[in-house]
Amino acid sequence: MSTIYILWLRQLKRYSRSRARMIGSLGQPLLFLFALGFGFAPIYEKAGGGDYIQFIAPGVIGMSILFTAVLSGIEIIWERQFGFLKETMVAPVPRMHIMLGRTLGGATVAFIQGFVVFLITFLAGFRPESMLMVPLAFPFMFLIALLFTALGTGIACLLQDFQGFHLFMNFLVMPLFFLSGALFPLEGLPRPIAIMASLDPLSYGVDALRITLSGVGHFGLPVDITVLSLVTALFLGIGSYLFSRIQV
């Protein structure tokens, strides 16, 4: 357990020292929140959807967590290429502990990033439907972060270079985001898109955030927490297995 704590703490120290990374990772969420949010707001309101900022804010929070969590996996590739990973792997501790420590650290960083974006949404005019429900959103934010950090770690274990990781971002992470309902309602979609959205784990994370923050949802909290918990456990198991077999 001490190994998990040490690696978790190291990830947080890296994040706190990288101010450029902290600021840079806010660029995309801010672009979606302000440019897309205010740009589509009149159309969304005329279509009878109400306030688009209230709708899109939980989706932008989920997006910021998704990208920060998945990108944490790229550190494994960087450390493997420069030989730093080998120093960690020769430690007399189970590799699963190393993987869990790194994953918890990356998930905590992604959660912090999501919390910062949550605060920024207030500048765009977002207001939670009920302040009593806001604390319930934070466990879901961390669960989303843990799920996709484990995914990013597992994928990074299979790749040898940065180019492969960026291809993974384009062909997997971007569809996960756009099919999650972060930018549009899931009701009334064509059946093929609706099926793909229901298979997207981020859809349940965004839905949980939207229920707790905006008071509207699609699947329901019991379904959201069940799916997120099961998929997180699955990805942690797969990530641990792949990390245990990584070649350094």
Q: Give the mean pLDDT of the chain.
A: 83
Cβ–Cβ under 8 Å, residues 179 and 171: no
Residue 32 has pLDDT above 90, yes or no: no
Separation between Cα atoms, residue 95 and residue 203, nearest integer Å: 31
* pLDDT band (50, 70, 90) for residue 142: very high
Q: What token pair was written down for 116?
A: 């910062």
Residue 93 has pLDDT above 70, yes or no: no
Domain boundaries, the chain: 2-244
> Does residue 55 or residue 93 have the better pLDDT?
55
Please tell me the predicted confidence (pLDDT) of residue 99. 80
Please tell me the predicted confidence (pLDDT) of residue 227. 95
Residue 203 has pLDDT above 90, yes or no: yes
**Residue range 203-228: mean pLDDT, rounded:** 93
Please tell me the predicted confidence (pLDDT) of residue 17. 54
Residue 209 has pLDDT above 90, yes or no: yes
Q: What token pair was written down for 3?
A: 């190994």
Q: Can you give 178-225 as a three-state secondary structure string?
A: HCCCCCCCCCCCCHHHHHHHHHCHHHHHHHHHHHHHHCCCCCCHHHHH
Closest CA to 61 of 111, 128, 131: 111
* pLDDT band (50, 70, 90) for residue 111: very high
Please tell me the predicted confidence (pLDDT) of residue 62. 93
* End-to-end CA separation in angstroms for the chain: 23
Q: Whose structure tokens read 């009920």?
A: 130
**Residue range 144-172: mean pLDDT, rounded:** 82
Percentage of residues in the chain having pLDDT higher than 70? 82
* pLDDT band (50, 70, 90) for residue 242: confident
Please tell me the predicted confidence (pLDDT) of residue 68. 87
Please tell me the predicted confidence (pLDDT) of residue 97. 75
Region of poorest pLDDT, from 4-13, 106-115, 175-184:
4-13
Taking only Cα atoms into account, the Rg of the chain, rounded to an integer number of angstroms, comes to: 18
